[in-house]
């Protein structure tokens, strides 16, 4: 009996309903005990993990929702292991921002250049290799330096795709960087 499967069983029985922590915890703890005779340790952690894996949507602290449509879309937009390998190989198994990689014992991850929420697809062309640290920065810290590099890469991709609207958007942002002399050491070739 897999604990995560048991949690998902409950959410799948209640699709698209916002479920509070105590409700799901009470159910899985009792159900797990009934089916296995064992104690379900740390169900909170298991729920958080399902959220991190994209299987549950977090509404707010302690409230989660399962939406079958969302999960399907998300899976379509994720890179397959084969695509990841192709992206890593093309980038020489190195982070495109700092150049560190497997040879330096640094963990690498496949990142969407155009983010999924802007319609970025799971295509090798839209993938780039980032070290765990820069992937984390891009996702969480949004430092100006990382941001500028990301917009340069998005601009290059938009130009290559002939996506004028997106290229224009990137140009406007990068011009703000230039005007304010933010991160001048990172060069943007128009
Ligand atoms: Zn890096």
Query: Residue 133 C-alpha to ligand 1 middle, in angstroms?
Result: 6
The predicted pLDDT at position 142 comes to 54
Average pLDDT over residues 137-148: 71
Strands 108-112 and 57-60: unpaired
* 146 Cα to the center of ligand 1, angstroms: 10
Mean pLDDT score, 11-37: 95
Q: For 1-131, where are the alpha helices, taking DSSP H only?
A: 3-13, 21-36, 43-52, 68-77, 81-90
Residue 36, pLDDT above cutoff 60: yes
* Cα 78 to ligand 1 centroid, rounded to whole Å: 21
- State in Å: Cα 134 to ligand 1 middle: 5
Residue 11 has pLDDT above 80, yes or no: yes
Residue 160 has pLDDT above 90, yes or no: yes
Of all residues in the chain, what percent carry a pLDDT higher than 90? 59
pLDDT higher than 90, residue 117: no
Q: How many angstroms does the Cα of residue 71 sit away from the middle of ligand 1?
A: 29
Whole-number Å distance, alpha carbon 110 to ligand 1 midpoint, is 12
Cα angle 74, 44, 58 (rounded to 5 degrees) comes to: 35
Amino acid 135: pLDDT: 87
Distance between CA atoms of residues 35 and 46, nearest Å: 18
pLDDT-wise least confident of 25-39, 84-98, 114-128: 114-128
The span from the CA of 115 to the CA of 94, in Å, is: 20
Q: Which whole number is the average pLDDT over 121-148?
A: 82
Q: Mean of the per-residue pLDDT values for the chain?
A: 88
Ligand 1: distance of its center to the CA of 77 in Å? 23
- In the block, residue with structure tokens 């999960």: 71
Quote the tokens at residue 4.
């995560």
Give me the mean pLDDT over the 14-38 stretch: 95
**CA dihedral sign, ordered 72, 164, 91, 174:** negative
pLDDT band at 29 (very low <50, low <70, confident <90, very high): very high
Give bridge partners of residue 78 from the DSSP assignment.
Answer: none
Question: Cα(26) to centroid of ligand 1, in Å?
Answer: 42
pTM of the predicted structure, to 2 decimals: 0.45
Ligand 1 center to residue 177 CA distance, Å?
A: 21
Q: Which residues contact 17 (CB under 8 A, 6 or more apart)?
A: 65
Predicted confidence band at 72 (pLDDT cuts at 50, 70, 90)? low
Pull the structure tokens for residue 113: 């250049």
pLDDT of residue 75: 66
CA 102 to ligand 1 centroid distance, Å: 11
Whole-number Å distance, alpha carbon 150 to ligand 1 midpoint, is 12
Distance 18 CA to ligand 1 centre (A): 37
> For residue 51, what are the contacts with CB-CB under 8 A and spacing of at least 6?
57, 58, 64
Question: 130 C-alpha to center of ligand 1: Å?
Answer: 5
């Amino acid at each position: 009996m897999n604990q995560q499967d048991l949690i998902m069983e409950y959410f799948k029985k209640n699709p698209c309903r916002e479920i509070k922590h105590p409700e799901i915890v009470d159910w899985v703890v009792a159900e797990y005990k009934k089916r296995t005779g064992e104690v379900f340790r740390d169900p909170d952690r298991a729920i958080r993990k399902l959220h991190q894996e994209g299987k549950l949507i977090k509404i707010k602290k302690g409230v989660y929702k399962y939406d079958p449509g969302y999960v399907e879309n998300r899976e379509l937009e994720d890179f397959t292991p084969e695509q990841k390998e192709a992206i890593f190989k093309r980038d020489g198994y190195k982070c495109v921002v700092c150049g560190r990689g497997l040879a330096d014992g640094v963990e690498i991850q496949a990142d969407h250049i155009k983010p999924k929420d802007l319609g970025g697809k799971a295509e090798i062309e839209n993938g780039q290799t980032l070290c765990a640290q820069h992937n984390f920065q891009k996702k969480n810290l949004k430092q100006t330096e990382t941001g500028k590099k990301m917009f340069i890469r998005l601009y290059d991709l938009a130009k290559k795709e002939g996506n004028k609207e997106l290229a224009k958007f990137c140009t406007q942002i990068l011009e703000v960087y230039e005007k304010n002399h933010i991160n001048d050491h990172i060069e943007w070739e128009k």
